[in-house]
Structure 1
Amino acid sequence: MCGRFSLYSSYSTLSQGLKLPLEVAVKLTPRYNVAPGTWITAVRHPTDNEPLVMDEVWWGYRPHWAKEKAPEPINATVEKVATSNYFRGAFAHHRCLVPADGWYEWLPLNGKKQPHFLCREDREPIWLAAIWTERPDGKPGCAILTEPARGVAKEIHPRMPLALDAESLKPWLDPHLTDRETIRQVVHHLDAELITHWPVSTRVNRPTNDEASLIEPLKP
């Protein structure tokens, strides 16, 4: 599951991590409580022959060909994304990256749910694998891929977003790489040993709360 995340790194930090030439069509402002159903920053090729761009996509996936009441998921599982009729076209041709500094998950505790913030131990940005599609309104919408939780992330939730290692970013974004098995061979998730987490304030439960204090460790 990935239903809330943060992105506060500067463009220069993201650019250094991506190490790919790209155009910028979005103004980055720090966001500490990014929720579904909002515009989020993504890196993608708008078409196969257009340069890589960092722009905004709607966090909610509904293809333009889908019926009006079709689902609008925010996540797609790695187990089905390449074979599902709803996702496989985007998996083959419209893959993108969603940069994040960390994400939130909720741990059931004493009848309540305690939010935790998960991020890299070195605090470097994380690149989340995603797919995008042209929505019925003609604008891009995306779903973030999830996989079974690994490492310490398993302590909080059974699933986690698919975070990619540095060598996988370029092939994941390559619109000419469409074969499922080839993609699996050249794209790898981030080492789970790099991930850490800590409990944070339940103020993150409200999407309208959006400030740096949300990611601070909860005081005993």
Structure 2
Amino acid sequence: MKAQGRGASALAPVMLPPMCGRFTQHLSWEELHRLADLIGQPRNLAPRYNIAPMTQVEVIRLGPQGKELAPMRWGLVPLWWKDPLNKLPATFNARAETVSTKPMFRSAFKSRRCIIPASGFYEWTGSKGAKTPHYFSAPDSRPLAFAGLWESFADPQTREMKDSATIIVGPANEWMSRFHDRMPVILDWGDIGLWMAGGDPGALLHPSPEDALQEWIVSAGVNKSDVGDDDPTLIERAIVAG
């Protein structure tokens, strides 16, 4: 019996909808302030270990005074969207190859780029009915800086203005391709200013270095999206036969 780590062999990849579709944010405001030079008053951030689309996530964006942390709906809603949200296509991910031209994302790509900080994310391998969940994080345990976009929209029911965001995904690097053919675009924290305000953001939309992530298998409990996401055991290494 052994726990799998970064060098573990993956099962045959399953071609799932664009990822990432689940991730974690167990972060501190102080840590994000140090990495991103945040402005504003510190606040307690509730740890979350199984974030699903259409729930609220923490997002770093450029505000009038500097980089600020703001809660947003995970699943971008363009300003022009008028139909009920349940008719909105899946917009929790945006493909790096088409993000500058797709009507859903092109306006935000031009002027509302953001960072979605993450402690890690999940992906699954194996056949239907026997999928194995894997957890991915930085080898040094620092937060990951996902390239993202944000947008304000009027809630179709209440007309209240709200904010929403999406994570940009691109082709997997060679290491990640053992698990999935896509991966989030992960930026160096030193490049987040260029991403949010630079003139050539497309130049940053490339796969991460091969050593950017570590991986291990976790409990199948993460497969459930109808329970609370405050359970830290979801990211613990599972003991697997080997």
TM-score normalized with structure 2 length:
0.80
Q: How does 1:1-220 map to 2 (within 5 A)?
A: 1-18=19-36, 20-24=37-41, 27-46=44-63, 49-68=64-83, 69-109=87-127, 112-137=130-155, 138-174=161-197, 177=198, 179=199, 182-185=200-203, 190-207=208-225, 208-210=227-229, 211-220=231-240
Measured after TM superposition, the shift of residue 139 of structure 1 is 0.4
Q: Given that residues 168 and 187 in structure 1 are in contact (C-alpha distance below 8 angstroms), is that contact kept between their aligned partners in structure 2?
A: no
Instruction: Classify the secondary structure of the residue corresponding to 1:139.
Output: strand
Deviation at 1:167, TM superposition (A): 2.4
Unaligned runs of 5+ in 1: none
Structure number with higher relative contact order (C-alpha < 8 Å, ≥ 6 residues apart): 2
SS in 2 for 1:135: strand
Query: Do 1:90 and 1:131's aligned partners in 2 also have CA atoms closer than 8 Å?
Result: yes
CA contact (8 A) 2:96 2:169 kept: yes
Which residue identity lines up with residue 15 of structure 1 in the other structure?
H
Give the length in aligned residue pairs: 212
Q: Structure 1 residue 154: deviation in Å?
A: 1.4
Quote how far apart the aligned CAs of 1:50 are.
Answer: 4.3
Counterparts of 1:163 and 1:194, CA distance in 2: 9
- CA offsets, 1:24-70, max 9 Å, x none? 57631111111111110000124xx3432101010011112124144
Structure 1 residues 186 and 2, CA, compared in 2 at 3 Å: closer, same or farther?
A: closer
CA contact (8 A) 2:120 2:138 kept: yes
Structure 1 159/26 Cα, relative in aligned 2: closer, same or farther at 3 Å?
Answer: farther
Q: Structure 2 CA distance, aligned partners of 1:127 and 1:29?
A: 18
Q: CA deviation at 1:136?
A: 2.4
TM-score, normalised with respect to structure 1: 0.88
Q: Indicate the SS of the match to 2:183.
A: strand
CA distance in 2, matches of 1:188, 1:80: 13
Residues 110 and 139 of structure 1, relative CA distance in 2, 3 Å threshold? closer
Distance 1:64 1:26 in 2: 29
Displacement, 1:214?
0.7
SS of 2:27 mapped into structure 1: coil
Identity within the alignment, %: 33
- Distance change >3 Å, CA 111–CA 21, structure 1 → 2: closer
Equivalent position amino acid for 2:35 in 1 = G
Q: Tell me the secondary structure at the aligned position of residue 30 of structure 2.
A: helix
**How far apart are 1:88 and its partner, in Å?**
0.9
Residue identity matched to 1:102: G
Two-structure CA RMSD over aligned residues (Å)? 2.0
Q: 1:21 to 1:9 in 2, by over 3 A?
A: closer
